[in-house]
């Protein structure tokens, strides 16, 4: 379990309910009481706009208020990487540019910020997590959304948390994980170390 997470509240900025439930399940398994510590999610887009646009529109204000503003609140941002030629590094740089264009300094190690960028969509991670061990690699460009539309997002978040914890002592636990999931786990580990 991540060190000192129990004392934090969490704001999740994401594109849809599946992402929110997944993150909620993950964080609950990491020691954050979901009912008391995970702040209610704002109204998510219902197909009226892209989820990526929704995240971009709310990111700067949430970043200012939660990642830098309040001592005991973490900001978790989940944004799909829909374009094939875009990486988590590219997505991070785009959000950092939004912060800088709003007149703030760019991201710092002390920011209470977890960036999570599923490649294609979060259902790609579901596809991998639903396999039995040993898990096979999967394509991060194939769309698994329709196949996993009814997946139990919160349970899969808890499964991902269990694998993350196991991977801290067993490097083969997340072998063949999608690169974007491995990147998110690394970001979580780095954040846990500075809290």
pLDDT of the residue at 35? 73
pLDDT of the residue at 43? 78
pLDDT of the residue at 170? 87
Give the count of domains, the chain: 1
pLDDT of the residue at 47? 59
Q: For the CA atoms of 159, 16, 85, 161, what is the dihedral angle to 10 degrees? A: -20
In which residue are the tokens 């780095």 written? 190
pLDDT of the residue at 103? 95
List, run by run, the mean pLDDT of 10-residue segments along the chain (195 residues). 72 92 92 81 71 90 83 88 84 95 91 92 94 90 90 94 90 88 91 83
pLDDT of the residue at 3? 58
Domain span at residue 167 reads 5-194
Q: For the CA atoms of 17, 28, 150, 46, what is the dihedral angle to 10 degrees? A: 0
φ, ψ (nearest 5 deg) of residue 43: -60, 125
């Amino acid at each position: 379990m991540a060190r000192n997470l129990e004392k934090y509240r969490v704001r999740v900025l994401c594109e849809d309910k599946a992402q929110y439930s997944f993150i909620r399940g993950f964080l609950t398994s990491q020691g954050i009481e979901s009912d008391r510590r995970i702040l209610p999610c704002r109204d998510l887009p219902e197909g009226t706009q892209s989820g990526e646009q929704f995240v971009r529109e709310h990111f700067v204000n949430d970043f200012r208020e939660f990642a830098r503003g309040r001592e005991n609140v973490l900001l978790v941002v989940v944004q799909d990487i829909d374009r094939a030629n875009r990486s988590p590094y590219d997505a991070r740089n785009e959000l950092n540019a939004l912060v800088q264009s709003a007149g703030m300094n760019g991201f710092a190690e002390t920011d209470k910020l977890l960036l999570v960028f599923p490649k294609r969509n979060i259902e790609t991670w579901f596809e991998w997590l639903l396999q039995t061990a040993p898990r096979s690699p999967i394509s991060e460009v194939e769309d698994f959304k329709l196949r996993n539309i009814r997946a139990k997002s919160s349970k899969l978040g808890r499964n991902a948390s269990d694998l993350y914890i196991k991977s801290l002592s067993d490097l083969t636990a997340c072998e063949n994980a999608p690169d974007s999931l491995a990147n998110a786990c690394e970001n979580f580990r780095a954040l846990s170390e500075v809290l």
